[in-house]
Structure 1
Amino acid sequence: MSTKLMRFAFLLALAGLVAACGKNEEQAANKAAVPAAPVAVPTATPDAAILTAVRMLRANDINGLLTAALPAAQLAKIKTDWTQHLTKDPITDEDRRKFADQMTRLTAPGAEDKIYADIEPQLKKFDKEGAAQMPMMIAMGQGFVQSSIQQSKDLSDEQKKQSAALVDATAKWAQGVKFTDPALVKGAIAAICKTARDLNLKSLNEVRALSYDQGMLKAGIALGGLKQVLAVYGLSLDKSLDSIKVETVSTTGDAAKVKVTYSAFDQPFTTESDLLKVDGKWYGKQAIERWQKEQAQAAATAANPPATPPAPAAK
């Protein structure tokens, strides 16, 4: 799987988990748990809007997730700009070669055994020379993320507290996993190879030619693959998504506050999220405010376009 696709899937998974932690989800007022399969749920209430996003994420339906989480105008712009964003970065023949080689390696018959044989010496070397450093590395990463959370201007004090607790639980999980365990590594490789085969992308040109709908399907496959890799190491995103319950705490006009409870690493977590109603549907307050800010900036730029620099004087 390409680095860009894996990064995209990882970010989507994290974004979904944050949403599950209270930034973009809601449930029915009876606090029913999220079912494992996607169900058509109206988004006319705050809790139902969050449940819709959770169910789409549970089903690896990225288009459904974006449709539930973003205002129609914002989603329309994403679709309009899709090709431009997908092809804006230039690629070289070397980029094309590396991508093709990587996908060929991941999808070839017997790829799983070949890849493990190639990396086994590195795993043994790490166990011998680097494993003792893992606790320190995890602790450093934990401290960095905790610092970022505390400095965030987008999180309330309660959200910071819950996010910090989740980071601590994640670090504890990481400390207890031997990531180089042969059985686990083989399981992860098998999941990655299967995902690469399911993506069925042989070249970067094919990636850049994807339509929005095709891209969303591929992103869903990549996200599903990432879930499988994490599950090998005992981290089930779907289990956390299935545990989400949402309660509307208050509604005042077009603003609402919801309480989200969920389980992660076998621990209970609770947080609150603010939502706003736009065109009869509920969305995360931060997403709406960010979209409004982008619209205002675009309007200001259109009204006052940057001056064209003068042409260089002829010599």
Structure 2
Amino acid sequence: MRLPFLRHAMLPLLAALLLGACHGKDEAAQPGGSTPEAALQASIELLKAGDFDALWKHALPPADYANMRADWSLQQRDLRPLTAEDRTRFNETMQKLTGPDAENRLYAELQPQLAAMERQYKDQLPVLISVGDAMLKSAVAQSHTLSETQKTQAGSVIDVLLPWAQQTPWFDPARAKQAVGVAVATARKLDLKSPEQLRALDFDATMGKYAVGWGGLKQLLAIYGLSVDDTLNSVKLTPLSNSNGHAVVKVDYTLLGKPLSAETALLQENGRWYSEDLLRNARQSHRQLQQQAAPASAASAVTKD
């Protein structure tokens, strides 16, 4: 249900958009920004609102946005066929999340497990989280889509998230009950009846589902003490440079009470400003998909002849 570009671009995009002031609906309704700061500020409005289609339309030049939409069908065409196991697993999961009285049923099933899980994993969890922290940092270090500056900035974010993850009361019954309620409400809003329906979603419908999932994720994180919107609202922008169609903006923000900063490079095209890393990733993904599609098209033409 996603393009490789969306997976590879999301981290640099979110890094570029960690800010909170609103600049104006006129900027959000147009591709790019009239200034580097305006481009970032308008994007965060759309990100906070969960309007992902409008976000990509704003964050990419018109031709690149059109390519991304056209590439959607290429990506969907290459998905592996669904199996009976896929269908069974999907149907069982959605039935649990959306069936009658799902909130109480799921919590009744989860509640007796919480104390046992806490006894079993309480001492191990900090160690397991530390292992996950090391693996995540290794993945960031080996990333081919992040610059060295972005890797350093991502490492700083991970360092702040580690103690939060280790100290959060994941097995607290009250929080677990709230989390179950959010998961059920989100699943119902997604309104997915079958894996075939999920596979058949077009680009616009998928962006709408992303919006629902994003809203649910923010609620879940807030239950456990991490407010995405508070972090976004804390950001302050400082222009560092702007010449010859290239600009750098410093982004200062607070994550879980810890001050952090990042630098975002922007590029001017046709009088509008865009994230330089986002453009590079979008265009690289488009080229790769076109190259992958070319042999398939040639083989199809030969078969027809």
Q: Same fold (TM over 0.5)?
A: yes
Runs of 4+ more than 6 Å apart: 298-308
Over 3 Å counting, the alpha-carbon distance change for 1:287 and 1:136 in structure 2 is: same
Q: 2:10 aligns with which of 6, 15, 19?
A: 15
Deviations along 1:221-250, whole A, 9 cap, x unmatched?
A: 111011111111111111111222223221
Q: CA deviation at 1:258?
A: 0.9
Partner amino acid, structure 1, of 2:43 = A
85-94 or 108-117, which moves further after superposition? 85-94
Q: 2:38 aligns with which of 48, 57, 65?
A: 48
1:208 aligns with 2:199: yes
Per the alignment, residue 232 of structure 2 pairs with 241
1:34 aligns with 2:25: no
Deviations along 1:137-166, whole A, 9 cap, x unmatched?
A: 111122222334445565555544432221
1:268-283 superposed matches below 5 A: 268-283=259-274
Distance 1:122 1:40 in 2: 51
Distance 1:15 1:302 in 2: 23
Distance 1:144 1:177 in 2: 20
Secondary structure of the 1:132 match is coil
137-146 or 230-239, which moves further after superposition? 137-146
Distance 2:110 2:278 in 1: 42
Q: CA deviation at 1:11?
A: 6.4
1:159-170 superposed matches below 5 A: 159-170=150-161
Partner amino acid, structure 2, of 1:93 = A
Q: Do the aligned partners of 1:20 and 1:241 also contact (CA within 8 Å) in 2?
A: no
Secondary structure of the 1:44 match is coil
Distance 1:183 1:81 in 2: 44
1:1-315 superposed matches below 5 A: 15=10, 18-21=12-15, 23=16, 33-35=20-22, 39-41=25-27, 43-86=33-76, 88-152=79-143, 155=146, 158-294=149-285
Deviations along 1:267-302, whole A, 9 cap, x unmatched?
A: 111111111122332222122223444566678789
Distance 2:93 2:291 in 1: 44
Partner amino acid, structure 1, of 2:21 = V
Distance 2:94 2:74 in 1: 24
Secondary structure of the 1:53 match is helix
Distance 1:177 1:286 in 2: 33
Over 3 Å counting, the alpha-carbon distance change for 1:275 and 1:176 in structure 2 is: same
Distance 1:56 1:254 in 2: 24
Distance 2:291 2:93 in 1: 44
Q: CA deviation at 1:194?
A: 0.4
Could you state the TM-score of these two structures normalised by the residue count of structure 1?
0.80
92-101 or 164-173, which moves further after superposition? 92-101
Partner amino acid, structure 2, of 1:34 = A
Q: Do the aligned partners of 1:112 and 1:193 also contact (CA within 8 Å) in 2?
A: yes
Per the alignment, residue 30 of structure 1 pairs with none
Over 3 Å counting, the alpha-carbon distance change for 1:180 and 1:20 in structure 2 is: same
Partner amino acid, structure 1, of 2:281 = R
Partner amino acid, structure 1, of 2:241 = S
Secondary structure of the 1:234 match is coil
Deviations along 1:35-76, whole A, 9 cap, x unmatched?
A: 4x9834261211111112111110011112212222322221
Over 3 Å counting, the alpha-carbon distance change for 1:152 and 1:304 in structure 2 is: closer
83-92 or 187-196, which moves further after superposition? 83-92
55-64 or 246-255, which moves further after superposition? 246-255
Q: Which runs of 5+ in 1 are unaligned?
A: 28-32
Secondary structure of the 2:123 match is helix
256-265 or 116-125, which moves further after superposition? 116-125
Distance 2:204 2:179 in 1: 28
Q: CA deviation at 1:304?
A: 9.3
Over 3 Å counting, the alpha-carbon distance change for 1:216 and 1:153 in structure 2 is: closer
Over 3 Å counting, the alpha-carbon distance change for 1:100 and 1:40 in structure 2 is: farther
Could you state the TM-score of these two structures normalised by the residue count of structure 2?
0.83
Give the aligned length.
Answer: 293
Distance 1:92 1:302 in 2: 25
Q: CA deviation at 1:82?
A: 2.5
Q: Do the aligned partners of 1:38 and 1:59 also contact (CA within 8 Å) in 2?
A: no
User: Is the helix fraction higher in 1 or 2?
Assistant: 2
Over 3 Å counting, the alpha-carbon distance change for 1:222 and 1:248 in structure 2 is: same
